Structure 1
Amino acid sequence: MKNTHLNFLALLFVCMLMSTVTWAQDSKANRPSPPATASGKIGDATVTIDYSSPSVKGRKVWEELAPAGKVWRAGANEATTFEVDKDVTVEGKELPAGKYSVYAIPGKDQWTVIFNKVAEQWGTQYDEKQDALRVTAKPEKALSFNERLAYEVTDNGFVLRWENLELPVSVKPKS
């Protein structure tokens, strides 16, 4: 009887060890587009952007991965999220405090940046009916090449940088 209990405990231990190893191998950090976070203060509002950071890898980003005129998830994997703890204005339009998924529609001279009410979703599950806010922003040529997509929270809002492009988006505390 004691042998049976010991065998059972040994088997249980091996199963636990195997599942831990399996979970570790499935870590999001090991993905080709690893998770990243940009956060900072804009006035007294705290902004956090969580996203997955794809690489250019020699691909034609603005023709193939995020073509003009089509909704793009503004990152990879799960939807990029934008969280703010106070009401703000984005490009002059009001956005209540909360957590949103971020999408974009790239264009040559102007982009549409979309804040969607469904924050926790896979990036390709976009539903326009859930949009909280749409604004336009003007893309610029980046000062240097950016292999990985990156966001930066600045005093004036946030900037998306990828390949040879920067997209500054104005965010201000609501007055």
Structure 2
Amino acid sequence: MNLKRKIFALAVLAGFAFAAQAQEKASPAMTAEGSVGDAKITVNYSSPAVKGRMIWGDLVPLGQVWRAGANEATTITTTKDIMVEGQKLPAGTYSFFIIPGEYESTFIFNKVAKQWGAFDYDSSQDQLRVKVASQQSSSLQERLKYEVADNKLSIMWEYGKAEAKLAPSM
């Protein structure tokens, strides 16, 4: 009888461990890294999933400031000055916001790096705003994803994509 209880307890514990492992975090913390010239670029963000929802124009309204991820505002760090769409972004850490649009979006680099979402966003603290083309993709990107590659900062989620050209500072 004692052996049966031990086996049962082990089976229950194994079941809980399997269930806990099977549950995926809603918006796991992610990092995208790359370089532009001698500058190292790091994007820290929480990556929500589509989960069958309509993202652009529904979950994320068009024409409004969005935190560009989940939970805390996404941050972008550059170790040296860089050019973003031909405009200078000084070295530092910035919160990153987007105003998504159907054909054009605005990337915002804000001097207040630590913020929860966009609730306390203050445009007077913007270091830089740049306009970028909004693009449609034919393949679904289930999780929000950032890339820093080929002298571009890209964001992809659901069927949408936007990217800014990056270059070393002059």
Q: How does the TM-score come out when normalised to structure 2?
A: 0.82
Q: Does 1:52 align with 2:35?
A: no
**Greater share of residues in helix:** 1
For residue 59 of structure 1, what is the amino acid of its counterpart?
R
- Answer yes or no: is the 8 Å Cα contact 1:38–1:152 preserved in 2: yes
State the distance in 2 between where 1:31 and 1:66 align: 20
Aligned to 1:142: 137
Aligned to 1:101: 95
State the distance in 1 between where 2:136 and 2:56 align: 13
Aligned to 2:5: none
Question: What is the CA RMSD across the aligned residues, in angstroms?
Answer: 1.4
Aligned to 1:71: 65
Aligned to 1:10: none
Aligned to 1:8: none
State the distance in 1 between where 2:112 and 2:101 align: 24
- Answer yes or no: is the 8 Å Cα contact 2:36–2:82 preserved in 1: no
Aligned to 1:172: 167
State the distance in 1 between where 2:126 and 2:163 align: 20
- Answer yes or no: is the 8 Å Cα contact 1:43–1:155 preserved in 2: no
Gaps of 5+ in 1: 1-24
DSSP 3-state at the match of 1:62: coil
How far 1:164 moved relative to its partner? 0.6
Moved over 2 A (4+): none
How far 1:143 moved relative to its partner? 4.9
For residue 48 of structure 2, what is the amino acid of its counterpart?
P
DSSP 3-state at the match of 1:136: strand
Post-superposition Cα deviations, 1:85-110, rounded to whole Å, max 9, x if no partner, equal 01011111111000000000011111
Post-superposition Cα deviations, 1:135-166, rounded to whole Å, max 9, x if no partner, equal 00001122521000000111212110100111
- Answer yes or no: is the 8 Å Cα contact 1:157–1:170 preserved in 2: yes
Q: How does the TM-score come out when normalised to structure 1?
A: 0.80
Tell me which moved more, 34-43 or 121-130: 121-130
Gaps of 5+ in 2: 1-19
After TM superposition, list the pairs within 5 Å mapping 1:122-161 onto structure 2: 122-124=116-118, 125-161=120-156
How far 1:127 moved relative to its partner? 1.2
| 1:92 aligned residue (72, 86, 90) | 86
State the distance in 2 between where 1:36 and 1:64 align: 24
State the distance in 2 between where 1:63 and 1:113 align: 17
- Answer yes or no: is the 8 Å Cα contact 2:56–2:160 preserved in 1: no
How far 1:31 moved relative to its partner? 3.8
State the distance in 1 between where 2:60 and 2:121 align: 14
Q: Kindly, what percent of the aligned residue pairs are identical?
A: 51
